Each structure stands twice: as structure tokens, then as C-alpha cells.
Structure 1
Amino acid sequence: MFEAQEAKHVHNIAQLTKRWQRTHRLTAAARRVLVNEITTLFEFKPGVVVVAEPLQPLSRQPVAELVDSSTYSKEELNAAIGHVIHILGLIVHYLGVKLPFVFFHKGISPYIRSASIRSRQQSRMPLFLDNKNLKRFTIGMAMLNYDIGYLCHTQGVDIPLHQIPNTLQGLMACCQSSGLGV
């Protein structure tokens, strides 16, 4: 009698495991579809600013060049960062990932802060650039890039430390991960 009940429980556990695995696969597929739709909605395409001229010796690879943000107006820069915040917020919502730093708005201005610090006033950093907050803005962007690196890690994407500042490349690598949503 005891063996029959045990066999029944083993069978029930096996059936439950099969259903859970199927649900997990469907959920992961749905998450991938949602993230792909976000990337098309924002016209999010991979790319690097490339210098047309010199090639690396012996490698025949174009040299990537850093973009000088001082050539763009603060409004353009802040709008682009706003889009990154928006897309990142949607992606983490769809994937169900809790980031180490959280975004919030005070009025129309976006900020980022640690999710664990109690003194929220002192830990918030602006994610907008104005004439007097360059140092705090730089820290805020580092926090944003850390969040993107963390998101990549949760999705099985390895971002080398020296590439963490490449905000859009990190986000795109995450969105193209084969393990996205798993």
C-alpha cells in the first residue's frame, strides 16, 4: 500500500515537472518576443561609430572611435538617455529582473539610486545633464551602466569590464542573447 502511494507521488511529481518545464519554455519565448518588439519599437540597432580611415595594422578591422558628447546639445543627450531608461525599464519588467539601482522621476527629471540604501536623498544621482551636475551625472551614468551589465549577467551575456561604459552595445547584446528570458 505504501509503495503504491509512493509510486503515485513520484508520477504526480514527474507530471508537475513536465508542466512546469513547458510553462517555463513558453514564458521564456514570450519574453524574447516582447523584448524583440521593444527593440523594433525604439529602432534599436547595433552599431559602432567607425572611423573611415586607418585600419588596425595586420587586422584589417576598422578602428572604433568614442563619440564626443560635447558636440551634442544637452537636450539631445538627455533625450537619448531618457529613451535608454525607458527601454531598460520595459525590458526588466518583461524579464522580471530586479536591478541593483532603481530609476525614478522627480518632476520631469530622471534619477537613479541604490535599491538598498535607506537615505534615498543622498544616494540619488541625476540621469540628466545640466550646467552644474557633471560629476553627479557621471556617477548616475555609471550606475545605469552597472544596471545594464547586471541585466546582461542575468541573461547569460558576459560583458567585459572595459566595455561596461558602452551603454547601447551592452543593452543590445542583452537583447540578442540566446538565453534571453530563461
Structure 2
Amino acid sequence: MECRNCESKQRHFYCENCIRTHLRDFRLQIQHAAVDRDEQVRKVTAAIDTISGSRIRRADLTSSQEELDGLNEGLTQLRRDNDKTKQRLRASRENLATRRRTLAQAKLLPPAPLDFLTAHETSQLSARAETISRARSGLVSELVEVFNIVEVGGRPPIGGKAGTKGEWTIGDLVLPVPGDIRRYPPDHINAVITHTLHFIGLLTFYLGIRLPFEITWTGGKLGVGQPWIRSIKGTESGSWAKYTSKHCLHVSASSPTPVADADVPAALIPSPSDSYIETRSPPNPSSSFTTAYAMLLYNVCYLAHTQAVEVPLSQAGDVLSNLWAVCCSAELGRRSHQTHPLLPPPTPPSFPLDFGQLLQATPASRPRPTRPRTGGPHKNRNNIPEEDEWDLLDDAGVGATEFP
């Protein structure tokens, strides 16, 4: 044939009878295979049934052997524990027998006098206290040398003439009494107060003394920022525990211009030179630095009291002199070892100084003087400071209080 398509092998087509025949053959083959499969399964099941009994017996035997091994190990451990218990019991019995023999022998001895034992323990305690006191005194002596606390100037009494007192310095800086603070520049006052606070902090740490007023620094570390002082929790003795607000121990070098009070009317007073002076009732600023410095003085006085040095109210302003007396006290550090485990609360009833009296005795701030200006009553009238001076920081950190 010339047709390629007719010559090519195409799909095979089956008739309906052929398809039925093929399906019947497939079913017969499947049934025959299923019968063979069931026969093989039956044979395998029968074979397994013959050996399952022996397998179960071997498994039970193995499990029993493992349980027996565990019981043997537990028995061995129990025997070891029993041996250790017997040894401890034997040692306890021997110790008890030894104590009984010692007690029986002690009953045969004559009783020792209680006074002798008390005196012996007291002498031992006194010796240890003396050793601790000498150690604290040595630390304080080194501390005084490091900070170089000395009295400069002064003259002893000679030929019937009265002597003169010198000036006490710390780190070659003079710490004046409260009435003379205004004579020194602010940087000098800030530096010497910082040295003094550092010295007092180390001294109280060496002696184990807790002061009624605590120092905090705005920078979070000692000497960083500005020092602030406030009271700690305490009793009503000494009238100091109520001063819980912070007061600044820092002097500001700024000199802000005085601001007139608009709520207070001014009064015109004629002067002999036909000029007028505008007078106002002076404001009552918060004496934060004065209060803070009084707190520092109170701390020093209480520290001196703990070391058997009594400072009268008239000498409370001599801070470095009082600290020198503390460091030279014969009772320095003798009672400091009694602070264990807790520090005693400040200002017991035996401390006579009252903080209110000390605060009143501390020189407070006073207003700046004014001088007249020439001119008629209609000319500009202002308060003119006599000289450029420095102010002190109040609680808000702004210069508001002048210190004399």
C-alpha cells in the first residue's frame, strides 16, 4: 500500500467478548494468588505458635534476672549504709563515754571561782580593745598627716602678754569661723569645705561613728558635684532630727542683681544732702548655707563627744581645732569597737548640745548696705550694693543667701 498511515502500527481495538474473557482470566489469577497467600499465612502462623512458648519463657527469664540483679545491688548498697551507720554509732558511743568520764572527773575537781574567770575574760577584752584602739589611732594619725591639719601663725604668751591664736588649715587652706567666711573667695570656701567633708568621712569610717547629718553629692561620688546635707532618722534628743530637707554646702561665685519686690511699696526718706533713699523692708531669704554649715558644726561636736572631748557652744565654730582635739584625744577609738553589729543612734541623752541653740549662735546672713544717690524725688531710685559680693546657693541651686 502506498499509504504510510495505513501501514503504521496503530492502536489495538478489542471487542466486547475479548474484554470479558480477559477480565475473567484476571479474576481467576487474583483468586488463585489469594488462596496461595492465605495458605502461606496459615503456615507461618502455625510455625510461630510452635516457638512462641519458648520465646515467652526466655523473656520472663531475662526479666527475672534483671530484677534479681537490681535487688542484689540494692542489698549491697544497704549493707554499705549499715556499715557506715554502725561506725557512726560506735563513734558516738565512744564520744559519749568520753564525755561521761570527763564530766565525772570534772565533778571531782573543786569549783573554780567565778570572779577569777570574769576577771580573766575582762582582761582579755580590755587587751583586744586596747589593740583595736591603737590601730584606729594609727589610722587617724596617718589621716591627719595626709590632710596636713596644722595651726599656722599665733603667738604663745610671753612676758605676761597674752598670746594670739593662729589659723587652722587643712591641705594648706584656711577654714575660717562662720563670722569670717565672707572674707574669703568662694572657690577657697568650696575647696576647704570639700577637704573637711572628706576628712570627716574617713575619720568617722575609721572610728565607726554615725553622725546625725549625712552628706550627699550631686555627682553621686565623693567630691563630684556639690555637697548637700540633711538629717538622718533619729530621736527627738538634740532637736536635729526634724531637719530632713537638704541644704547646700556650696558657695556660688555669681553675683545676681538684686530684684526689687513689686508687692512692697517703697518709702522715700530725705537725706541731709537733699537726696532720697528708697527703703524697702529687706526680704527674708532662706539661709540654706547657714543651716548647712550649722549642721556640719553639729556633726563635729557630736564626733568630739563620742571621743570624750566636750566642745562648748562658744567653740563650736572652730571646726579644724575641734577635729584636732578629737584626733589627739586620749580616748580616741576606745569605744568605737562597741559599734558591732550595728552603729549606735546619734546624740544620746548624755550629749548636751542642742542643734537649735547652735543654729541661733551661728552668724546668719544680713542684707547688703545701700548708699544714697543725689537727685530729686522724681529721679530713678534703686538699691545700690556697696560692693560686688558673692551669694550662696539655696535649696534650689540658685544664689539667694549672703553670708557675713
- Normalising by structure 2, we get a TM-score of 0.39
Note if 1:142 corresponds to 2:294.
Answer: yes
Larger mean Cα displacement after TM superposition, 75-84 or 10-19:
10-19
SS at match of 1:113: strand
Residues 155, 121 of structure 1: alpha-carbon distance in 2 compared, 3 angstrom cutoff: closer
Note if 1:125 corresponds to 2:244.
Answer: no
Note if 1:32 corresponds to 2:144.
Answer: no
Residues 64, 14 of structure 1: alpha-carbon distance in 2 compared, 3 angstrom cutoff: closer
Question: RMSD across aligned C-alpha pairs, in angstroms?
Answer: 3.2
* 1:154 maps to which of 303, 306, 309: 306
Note if 1:114 corresponds to 2:231.
Answer: yes
One-letter amino acid of the structure 2 residue matched with residue 163 of structure 1: Q
The aligned counterpart of 2:162 is: 60
2-structure distance, mates of 1:169, 1:109: 25
One-letter amino acid of the structure 1 residue matched with residue 229 of structure 2: I
The aligned counterpart of 1:171 is: 323
The aligned counterpart of 2:201 is: 89
1-structure distance, mates of 2:214, 2:111: 47
2-structure distance, mates of 1:154, 1:141: 20
1-structure distance, mates of 2:120, 2:322: 39
What is the CA distance between 1:120 and its match in structure 2? Answer: 10
2-structure distance, mates of 1:178, 1:105: 33
Q: Deviations over 1:86-114 (max 9, x none)?
A: 00011111011111111111221111110
What is the CA distance between 1:4 and its match in structure 2? Answer: 6.1
Higher RCO (C-alpha 8 Å, min separation 6): 1
Residues 18, 140 of structure 1: alpha-carbon distance in 2 compared, 3 angstrom cutoff: same
Residues 74, 178 of structure 1: alpha-carbon distance in 2 compared, 3 angstrom cutoff: same
Q: Deviations over 1:131-151 (max 9, x none)?
A: 589820111110001000001
Residues 41-60 of structure 1 mapped to structure 2, 5 A cutoff: 41-47=146-152, 50=154, 59-60=161-162
Structure having the higher Rg = 2
SS at match of 2:151: coil
Residues 23, 135 of structure 1: alpha-carbon distance in 2 compared, 3 angstrom cutoff: same
Residues 122, 148 of structure 1: alpha-carbon distance in 2 compared, 3 angstrom cutoff: closer
What is the CA distance between 1:72 and its match in structure 2? Answer: 2.4
Structure 2 unaligned residues grouped into runs of 5+ = 1-105, 168-175, 220-224, 235-240, 257-284, 335-404
One-letter amino acid of the structure 2 residue matched with residue 41 of structure 1: V
Residues 8, 113 of structure 1: alpha-carbon distance in 2 compared, 3 angstrom cutoff: same
Residues 4, 99 of structure 1: alpha-carbon distance in 2 compared, 3 angstrom cutoff: farther
SS at match of 2:150: coil
8 Å CA contact retained: 1:110, 1:126: yes
8 Å CA contact retained: 1:126, 1:136: yes
2-structure distance, mates of 1:106, 1:45: 30
Identify the structure with the greater helix proportion: 1
Residues 166, 7 of structure 1: alpha-carbon distance in 2 compared, 3 angstrom cutoff: same
What is the CA distance between 1:36 and its match in structure 2? Answer: 0.8
2-structure distance, mates of 1:167, 1:134: 23
* 2:216 maps to which of 76, 93, 104: 104
One-letter amino acid of the structure 2 residue matched with residue 146 of structure 1: Y
2-structure distance, mates of 1:136, 1:167: 19
2-structure distance, mates of 1:115, 1:12: 42
Structure 1 unaligned residues grouped into runs of 5+ = none
Percent sequence identity over matched residues? Answer: 31
2-structure distance, mates of 1:127, 1:98: 19
Q: Deviations over 1:17-63 (max 9, x none)?
A: 2221111000111111111110000111134x659xxx9xx752237
Q: Deviations over 1:61-89 (max 9, x none)?
A: 23779763333221221110000000001
